[in-house]
């Protein structure tokens, strides 16, 4: 019974490159959330998606960041033209559709920008 799967676990990019982070939710879960954890800080909400829909992107930076959750396949968090400040751990969580169901977190992707 696989939990939330994130890959890669670690990702290294040079400034200006693109980073793609993947998240496969738990089986049966249709809600996906992305959070960012900057060094020595707590997690901050970025975006909430359902299949083919962005529900809440209030925590997403206005530029260079985008997210999708297609009908088939994992959710993708995409960061274009990465900068040093993008270095962080990115966590994905998933839940079923009921409000009172907990969010289950993946192990995160650690993004390092050289």
Partner 1 sequence: AQKVTQAQTEISVVEKEDVTLDCVYETRDTTYYLFWYKQPPSGELVFLIRRNSFDEQNEISGRYSWNFQKSTSSFNFTITASQVVDSAVYFCALLTGYSSASKIIFGSGTRLSIRP
Q: Is 85 in the site for partner 1 (CB under 8 A)?
A: no
Q: How far is the CB of 107 from partner 1 (least distance, A)?
A: 4
Other CB atoms closer than 10 Å to residue 52's CB: what's the count? 10
Q: Is 69 in the site for partner 1 (CB under 8 A)?
A: no
Span interacting with partner 1, options 21-29, 49-57, 62-70, 79-87, rule CB under 8 A:
49-57
Instruction: Pick the binder of partner 1 from 8, 12, 55, 80 (CB under 8 A).
Output: 55
Q: How far is the CB of 81 from partner 1 (least distance, A)?
A: 26
Cα angle vertex 40, ends 37, 45, to 5°?
A: 25
Q: How far is the CB of 53 from partner 1 (least distance, A)?
A: 10
Instruction: Pick the binder of partner 1 from 22, 59, 96, 112 (CB under 8 A).
Output: 59
Which DSSP string corresponds to the chain? ----EEE-SEEEE-TT--EEEEEEPPTT--EEEEEEE-TTS-EEEEEEEETTEEEE-TTS-SSSEEEE--SSS-EEEEE-S--GGG-EEEEEEEE-SSTTSPPEE---EEEEE-
For binding to partner 1 (CB under 8 A), which residues are involved? 31, 33, 35, 41-45, 48, 50, 55-56, 59, 89, 91, 93, 97, 99-100, 102-105, 107-108, 110
């Amino acid at each position: 019974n696989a939990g939330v799967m994130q890959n890669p676990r670690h990702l290294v990019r040079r400034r200006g490159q693109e980073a793609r982070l993947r998240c496969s939710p738990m089986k049966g879960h249709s809600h996906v959330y992305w959070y960012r954890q900057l060094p020595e800080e707590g997690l901050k909400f970025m975006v909430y998606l359902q299949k083919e829909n962005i529900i809440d992107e209030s925590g997403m930076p206005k530029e260079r960041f985008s997210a999708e959750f297609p009908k088939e396949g994992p959710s993708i968090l995409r960061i274009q033209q990465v900068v040093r400040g993008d270095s962080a751990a990115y966590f994905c969580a998933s839940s079923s559709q009921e409000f009172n169901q907990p969010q289950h977190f993946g192990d995160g992707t650690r993004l390092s920008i050289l």
